[in-house]
Amino acid sequence: MAVLTHLLFLAVRILAFPLYLLNFLGLWNGICKQIPYFLVRFISMYHKQMASHKRELFSSLQEHASPSGELSLLELGCGTGANFRFYPPGCRVTCVDPNPNFEKFLIKSIAENRHVQFERFVVAAGEDMHPVADGSMDVVVCTLVLCSVENQERILQEACRVLRGGGKFFFCFKLNVSLPGIWKFFY
């Protein structure tokens, strides 16, 4: 099993080599600025496919509110704010994303989802969320992000650090199996 794991990591590194090369050549930052525009254009199809799954996944969010009844939620890899419409009314949302170019799209999403209270946008990788205080969140949400990060273990450690005692981690990812379109979500 260890050999298979190492082979899979090697395959991922080989597939990711063009990205490393673009970064080395200084071209990656320009491409990153275009990613939000791409997502906004093509995300509607994804929303149609995932809406029922996300509604189910996030249906119990309010149950995890603090004893005061307020729900503090941290979204890792928030992108354009596509999950805001699934969050309960009054939910206080802090967003973390390493791409600062998503901020203007978040502002638009906030305007469209006035039922949530936007706290702040933190430009940081999920592996190092030091601007977010220890034990400050009731819920951490991470959708379709864990497959594209450098260190999944470190992200999980950071999620545990920012969660209050009894807080919950909700995540969703696409399985890469022989059946296309298989989605799994957990909390």
List Cα–Cα distances, 56 to 69, 95, 108, 109, 151, in angstroms. Answer: 21, 21, 25, 21, 28
Is position 1 within any domain? no
Is position 62 within any domain? yes
Is position 11 within any domain? no
- Give the tokens for residue 159: 């999620």
pLDDT at residue 118, rounded to an integer: 93
| Gap between the Cα atoms of 33 and 30, Å rounded | 5
Burial of 144: CB neighbours in 10 Å, binned 0-12, 13-18, 19+: middle
DSSP H/E element including 150: none
Is position 142 within any domain? yes
How big is the chain, counted in residues? 187
pLDDT at 116 over 70: yes
Is position 102 within any domain? yes
Tens digits of residue pLDDT in 132-160: 999 999 999 988 777 777 788 888 899 99
Is position 146 within any domain? yes
- In 25-151, where does DSSP find H-type helix? 28-58, 103-112
Which residues span the domain enclosing 96? Answer: 51-186
**Domain CATH code at residue 153:** 3.40.50.150
Number of independent structural domains in the chain: 1
- Whether the pTM exceeds 0.85: the reply is no
Choice between 169 and 146, residue whose per-residue pLDDT is larger: 169
DSSP H/E element including 84: none
**Mean pLDDT throughout 82-92?**
92
Q: Over the chain, what is the mean pLDDT?
A: 80
Tens digits of residue pLDDT in 44-62: 666 677 778 888 888 888 8
- Give the tokens for residue 62: 């309010």
pLDDT at residue 62, rounded to an integer: 87
Pick the closest to residue 96 from 62, 131, 72 (CA basis): 131
CA end-to-end distance (rounded Å), the chain: 27
**Mean pLDDT throughout 118-130?**
90
